[in-house]
Structure 1
């Protein structure tokens, strides 16, 4: 038992050692490519696709956008919109008591008329935030005279594919590293929570991030999700964008709507205790950014800057207040463990199935599970897992390498087993048609004591020679790649000869054997074998057909008592070959199916034909093998 288990283990180890290395090589290669950043673009694409396919979310009432569109410019009859109109708009908005207002329009240069009125509005309302750009090459100063608390930067960084997926919340001042600069979104979020009596704190688990009501904002680290070796030139806190998936994520009104509105109650309800963002929503301003994570944008693949900031504010508020997850990822160890698991899975599938079609089905099913799991993790828990490299490994190993290697190796092992079984079967047939017949003849006469002792000794000496000749023939046959056939008579036939020539040789050689007593009563010997093209038969099938004829003739010699005539024919007609041996002996004496009969049935099945052995009227037996000729 132990030996059998050990042999099984050794065989399994040998199989894995031959078939698994290609899959492991692909696994290592994919991991190395990911480590150097070769998978980033593909992982970004999967992230955007899964975000885009999420269910629709409800509108966020807490954020309202006042967008200055083309019709507003026509209505004002001046572009850029003058400071006076902006001051009038901000003053009107303040009457509705919003918690904070973000003006996403650069005011480093005055646009007359109305610059004094705008400056006065800022001085009187500390909850209005203006903007600046702090990173080169396009640095833009804020409006003059504003305190730091009323300024937020709006610098956005795009990824290598020009898409915007990150948002910088705060960073050290590039000109004075002793102080921090806050983004427009963070300044507005701070005011929102301050009005609610909630302070922003430093994170406990990660001291480099912000914590609000025991919730830490997950920051983008050097190797965050699909990002590899992030160059944090800003040195601050960046978060990954989790856009609100909705045709209308926020209430949007225009400048002219607010200034012309007569229904005070409507706007008080819409804007009271809200965060209001004022910005350009027209192509003339050029305040456009790019994303593939939203399915329904006014401009395909593009999002206005003021909308982008609104999504940032909304995702932070939704995380703290509603429990909507922000996007985060596993640690490096967790990600690469996940990739290794999916690298080994197709190798295991290939070993278990060992079938191309079964493997394709199981690998396809595993791929669906992987995509579904990645989608659910992102949608419900906000976890960005490495789907792209896992899917590539699954596809390459599952469809390409591992399954093929296991299948081919298993096929090779099976062919070896079949070859061994064929050798055993052939050896038995040779022994059965040769030495066993000699042995049976000798034993029969030894029991009957009807032949001289010297003749009996001669029979057993013949048996000894036959056994030794078979041993030598089997050695030779291994060397000559089974291109020859040894008959029980000792005759060796070359299988590259035409089949009908071989059948003539088998017929003549077998009927000349002296160890079959019923051959001695034969008076009439008839044989005729139609030729057929060699393209229809392999050497192995030639061998089996010749052995069938020899077996059928030997049965006549052993069992056909009183036989006077034997007829062996091979008839080719209607693309079918029928090989038969017919005698006029006393017929079949026993209905038991011996090993020779079973082998003949198996041969007929392999040829796609039929076998029959039965008595004929008025006396005799016919043994027949027929099959269709196909290449």
Structure 2
């Protein structure tokens, strides 16, 4: 029926509903479950790759914000890099560089009194001529040579012979599973020898150079036993779960690497420039000088978080990478920059929970798809800005895990709401059947939370105008008419009457066989006199239009050789109580009160007294609300069946 279709449209209409106790419980349960699930995904490392990619993107964005549109270059004036490039190898015609050439370069650098020199070239055995000269240079107190600790797959490399242990630093670099260097390994541990299982502690090349530059040695932190203190900085080691990590090898002592620059932290000069005395003393004096290969053919290259944004030279040379590490340690030790911080594991889990709650709570009162999409976009944008703010302030907080938590929580809450709405629709269909008006459906839908919780609509007292209609002598008509024909004729009649009720702002509460009960003023309670009067006037206008529609139907039926119908209408205005009636297995939207009885009695009053095809009787309570333009015929006061008090009755005269 048309009313059922209208009701279905009402149910699909999005409505804002404030979250109640059920909403708090649903959001809480969903948030806790989603947080546990996301924490589990993180524990197994399934989100680590995405977290690392998000972190890299934030680092690149932070760098663009820092350099500005002019693309300013930041160089650490404490450092100088001597890079052995392709031209150096071609001009010298050799690699590895011979001991003689290397000794000459070191001597020229030492002449300008650098604070420290880091030799990022392996020299486990002599190379060509000049070994004695190189050995003299290696014995200078400000030079640090390198060793390679190695790992389970790669053997280590011995340092140059004769160099004391306090001037040996390892140049091992820890690479993340995606091939990117994001960490600075400053202290490593390795077995003393293949036959000696005891481990020894080694300092990195960068840490050794920083110690020489600062003139201070690292100490154990009194407040954090696992941390190291160097000058003004406390270096707390990373753990496998720090930031967006979950499955990294956290052996040794590592911190997140804070790149001074995406390309190089310091000026780079070639070996040929050093040998030709083309590097001024002011670029060497009191600086840390690192010597190493930058030639692509030697493949001492690494990917960095900035590689994806580089238009050329996507990889960074190892010696430049060590310069980045030295710059970071010096900045922290001298108080010029903080080390990159991360949250403890419990803090990250709390972070997931916050975003899970935010996602679920935000969508609970919303039912409009566009608004839901905008809210989700707003949350994700806000999360990204918070994460960017953390990066700007030297921090790494997870992004992907909380984003997954808020989206999953939102989806879970929406799925619950969809399932709950389906149950509500099923219950309303059971409650209302096929006689539902759009107004009642809308009212019930707006009260669906209470309906679902208790299975009933609470009673509501209000003033309404009731209308009963009935076909005169219907029993006699049914006696002489085939049931199929009678049903078709009755449907035509009730459909026309229902259309008029809805057109005049009323609702059809129920069909009573050959009649109906219509109500004006429900389910939205009217408290103002003007509104109640409008309902009464609408009911009378509706009855008059019903009379006209009946005349049209009679003309149609008479053309088919059928007898015309006559109807009676009773209208009364007064207090009623509306709500659900029945039990959990059988409910209906009920309207009860003395006013309902009076309207019914007016319809059936003195059935023999009818001068037209449609007789409309109203009570005095309704008459008082009508405007003066409605023609009325006063019938007098009548004692209605079942009531002690009389009711003054008026007939509405059809124009």
Whether 1:158 aligns to 2:166 is no
Distance 1:584 1:88 in 2: 124
Distance 1:506 1:329 in 2: 73
Match of 2:401 in 1: 389
Q: Structure 1 residue 214: deviation in Å?
A: 3.8
Distance 1:217 1:345 in 2: 34
Match of 2:420 in 1: 409
Q: SS at the partner of 1:329? A: coil
Of 302, 317, 331, the residue aligned with 2:315 is: 302
Whether 1:83 aligns to 2:107 is no
Distance 2:119 2:475 in 1: 105
Is the 1:67–1:253 Cα contact (8 Å) retained in structure 2?
yes
Is the 2:122–2:159 Cα contact (8 Å) retained in structure 1?
yes
Report Cα offsets for 1:29-60 as digits up to 9, x if no partner.
21111122222222111122211221346221
Match of 1:70 in 2: 86
Q: Structure 1 residue 168: deviation in Å?
A: 1.9
Is the 1:218–1:328 Cα contact (8 Å) retained in structure 2?
no
Note closer, same or farther for the CA distance 1:587–1:416 as it changes in structure 2 (3 Å cut).
Answer: closer
Report Cα offsets for 1:443-497 as digits up to 9, x if no partner.
xxxxxxxxxxxxxxxxxxx9xxxxxxxxxxxxxxxxxxxxxxxx999989xxx99
Distance 1:270 1:91 in 2: 15
Of 55, 73, 90, the residue aligned with 1:47 is: 55
Q: Structure 1 residue 247: deviation in Å?
A: 4.5
Superposed CA RMSD in Å reads 4.6
Note closer, same or farther for the CA distance 1:294–1:323 as it changes in structure 2 (3 Å cut).
Answer: farther
Match of 2:265 in 1: 249
Distance 1:419 1:93 in 2: 93
Q: Which moved more, 1:170-179 or 1:292-301?
A: 292-301
Q: SS at the partner of 1:303? A: strand
Distance 1:47 1:63 in 2: 27
Give the gaps of 5 or more residues in structure 2.
1-18, 68-73, 441-463, 497-507, 520-538, 557-565, 568-611, 628-652
Match of 2:44 in 1: 36
Within a 5 Å distance, the mapping from 1:187-586 to structure 2 comes to 187-194=208-215, 198-228=216-246, 230-232=248-250, 234=251, 236-262=252-278, 267-294=280-307, 300-380=313-393, 382-398=394-410, 400-406=411-417, 409-410=420-421, 413=424, 432-434=468-470, 504-505=489-490, 566-568=551-553
Is the 1:328–1:384 Cα contact (8 Å) retained in structure 2?
yes
Distance 1:305 1:393 in 2: 38
Is the 1:131–1:184 Cα contact (8 Å) retained in structure 2?
yes
Q: Structure 1 residue 592: deviation in Å?
A: 3.7
Is the 1:19–1:402 Cα contact (8 Å) retained in structure 2?
yes
Report Cα offsets for 1:182-201 as digits up to 9, x if no partner.
1111110100110xxx4432
Note closer, same or farther for the CA distance 1:36–1:419 as it changes in structure 2 (3 Å cut).
Answer: same
Q: SS at the partner of 2:62? A: coil
Distance 2:425 2:371 in 1: 18
Distance 1:556 1:188 in 2: 98
- When you count helix as a share of all residues, which structure comes out higher? 1
Match of 2:141 in 1: 126
Give the gaps of 5 or more residues in structure 1.
1-10, 439-461, 463-486, 511-526, 528-539, 572-580, 594-618, 622-631
Q: SS at the partner of 2:468? A: helix
Distance 2:328 2:311 in 1: 20
Q: Structure 1 residue 261: deviation in Å?
A: 3.4
Q: SS at the partner of 2:364? A: helix
Note closer, same or farther for the CA distance 1:135–1:506 as it changes in structure 2 (3 Å cut).
Answer: closer
Q: SS at the partner of 1:73? A: helix
Q: SS at the partner of 2:113? A: coil
Match of 1:523 in 2: none
Is the 2:188–2:253 Cα contact (8 Å) retained in structure 1?
yes
Is the 2:435–2:510 Cα contact (8 Å) retained in structure 1?
no
Is the 2:466–2:517 Cα contact (8 Å) retained in structure 1?
no
Is the 2:493–2:553 Cα contact (8 Å) retained in structure 1?
no
Is the 2:263–2:316 Cα contact (8 Å) retained in structure 1?
no
Note closer, same or farther for the CA distance 1:558–1:290 as it changes in structure 2 (3 Å cut).
Answer: closer
Is the 1:52–1:295 Cα contact (8 Å) retained in structure 2?
no
Is the 1:356–1:407 Cα contact (8 Å) retained in structure 2?
no
Q: TM-score normalised to the size of structure 1? A: 0.66
Distance 1:318 1:509 in 2: 87
Q: TM-score normalised to the size of structure 2? A: 0.63
Note closer, same or farther for the CA distance 1:297–1:309 as it changes in structure 2 (3 Å cut).
Answer: farther
Aligned residue pairs: how many?
Answer: 481
Of 94, 97, 106, the residue aligned with 2:113 is: 97
Is the 2:174–2:184 Cα contact (8 Å) retained in structure 1?
yes
Of 154, 158, 173, the residue aligned with 1:141 is: 158
Is the 1:288–1:305 Cα contact (8 Å) retained in structure 2?
yes
Q: Structure 1 residue 541: deviation in Å?
A: 13
Is the 1:354–1:410 Cα contact (8 Å) retained in structure 2?
no
Distance 1:419 1:181 in 2: 77
Match of 2:75 in 1: 59
Q: Structure 1 residue 620: deviation in Å?
A: 5.6
